[in-house]
Amino acid sequence: MPLLHISMRAGKPEAYRQAILDSLYRAMREALNVPDGDEFMTISEIEPANFRCGNAYGVSRSEDAVLIQITVFASRTPEQKKALYRRIAELLGESPGIRPEDVFVNVLDAPKENWSVGHGIAQFA
């Protein structure tokens, strides 16, 4: 049950943004075995004056940097997360063509009782 928030500079065409969503969904299916149809993702386009990514940690980022925050059940292993990071960078490189240096991913673990996916109930608690 991943929940994704993607932030990027405004100005890319719809096909580019859809390719990001498609690649992220594919990476989650492959690395985290999320079920078919488990797609809860948003893209926020930020005006360039309001979006800043530095070049810290030995990574030289461009204006095409994307910030991806993924909230998941607190049951994912470090190995699954590492596989997810690799697969996201690979797939975003293929489509829409984002350099691996421009892919910033943050995974947040949340207990299952912190989720309600509809009807006002905690389906996983």
Residue of 2, 48, 78, 111 with catalytic role: 2
pLDDT number for residue 49: 97
What mean pLDDT comes out for the span 80-90?
A: 98
pLDDT number for residue 1: 80
pLDDT in tens, 97-125: 999 999 999 999 999 899 998 999 999 88
Domain boundaries, the chain: 2-54+62-114
Torsion, Cα 4 22 81 37, to 10 degrees, reads: 70
pLDDT exceeds 90 at position 81: yes
Task: For strands 66-73 and 103-110, give the pairing.
Answer: parallel
What mean pLDDT comes out for the span 5-28?
A: 98
Check if 100 is active-site: no
What mean pLDDT comes out for the span 76-97?
A: 97
CATH class of the region 2-54+62-114:
alpha beta
pLDDT in tens, 29-68: 999 999 999 999 999 999 999 999 999 999 999 999 999 9
